[in-house]
Amino acid sequence: MKRELLKFAAFAVFVLLLPLLFQGGYLMNVLVFVGINTMLAIALNLLLGYAGQISLGHAGFFGLGAYLSGILTVSYGWNPWQAMPVAALAVGCLAGLIGFPILKLKGHYLAMATLGLGIIIYIVFNETIDLTGGPSGLSGIPNIALGGVTFDTDVKNYYLIWGFTLAVVLFSINLANSRVGRALRAVHDSEVAARVVGVNARILKVQIFTLSAVISSLAGSLYAHTMTFVSPASFGFNFSIELLTMVVIGGLGSVYGSFLGAALLTLLPEFLRAAHDYDIIIYGGLLMLMVMFMPGGLVRGIPALFRKLFKPGGGAGHA
């Protein structure tokens, strides 16, 4: 555990010092979104990587958080600090209610059910025009303010978002190393075996699904107050798939893997922009290569690559 804390401290220092490199540039703006996507990838990873339950509808929870925060602040004049927890609570209740029937399903059926859930939420955003503004979106969402400081620039937002992200990272590491984390992995490997040793798999799955939705909702609220605008297109099926890709590319069952996956998938398109019309091909090609040669994700693949490069002959086996 002490080693984990040291690792986290190093990560936190890295995150806090990073803006010094990009003072003012637009990459700061992209790094804000890396933070949001890291939260989302961790949320999905808790469900998929630890508990082994797939969700293709996480963009829906993300969107619900964003819209609830947006509507409560714009239409009802709430303070963002009130709107965020209320949104998270509401999304948590919804996820808990839906979780019971949905998580009885397994494999492809669970994938289909969560996919459907995501699409239904997306349609609601589009069709309830009086409430959400419909397809052309909801604008004028206020920035978050704290003790006289309004988070209205990229640098300020960076520290706000990453403050939350680091909290989620720390919480998730603790969770993964606790009794609950071990129970989750047991459910992942064999639900029957887990139940035999006294894990209430059914309740546990609903709990982790709810937690995952709450973190996603929080990320959504932060997104809304950073962008000051939300529209349904950002919370569609494509984004659910992108989140899934982040988790798989980064490394299933690894909190830092989620960060690597989110960082890569958010930053890569920005760097490939120089390749103009070929960027999509290169992007797709790179993802394919990574899945083929780093099946454990970046978090395991990169160290393995280093060992191979720098310790010829003796590398493999010493994990």
Contact 26, 86 (CB under 8 A): no
Task: Choose the binding region for another protein from 77-85, 131-139, 158-166, 173-181 (rule: CB under 8 A).
Answer: 131-139
Nearest to 14 by CA among 203, 256, 229, 190: 256
Contact 22, 32 (CB under 8 A): no
233 binds another protein (CB under 8 A): yes
How many angstroms separate the CA atoms of 284 and 289, rounded? Answer: 9
**Candidate list 78, 119, 126, 300; residue touching another protein; CB under 8 A:** 126
Angle (nearest 5°) at CA 305 between 302 and 310: 125
29 binds another protein (CB under 8 A): yes
Nearest to 48 by CA among 216, 223, 217: 216
Task: Choose the binding region for another protein from 5-13, 49-57, 221-229, 282-290 (rule: CB under 8 A).
Answer: 221-229
Residue 284 CB, nearest distance to another protein (Å)? 13
Task: Choose the binding region for another protein from 20-28, 42-50, 73-81, 210-218 (rule: CB under 8 A).
Answer: 20-28
Q: Which amino acid is at 6?
A: L
Length of the chain: 319
278 binds another protein (CB under 8 A): no
Task: Choose the binding region for another protein from 42-50, 82-90, 226-234, 250-258 (rule: CB under 8 A).
Answer: 226-234
Nearest to 262 by CA among 67, 75, 83, 62: 62
Contact 91, 246 (CB under 8 A): no
Structure tokens at 58: 């996480």
Select 41 or 201, whichever has its Cβ closest to another protein. Answer: 41
157 binds another protein (CB under 8 A): no
Residue 71 CB, nearest distance to another protein (Å)? 16
Contacts with another protein, residue ranges (CB under 8 A)? 24-26, 29-30, 33, 126-127, 129, 134-137, 139, 152, 154, 227-231, 233-234, 270, 273, 280
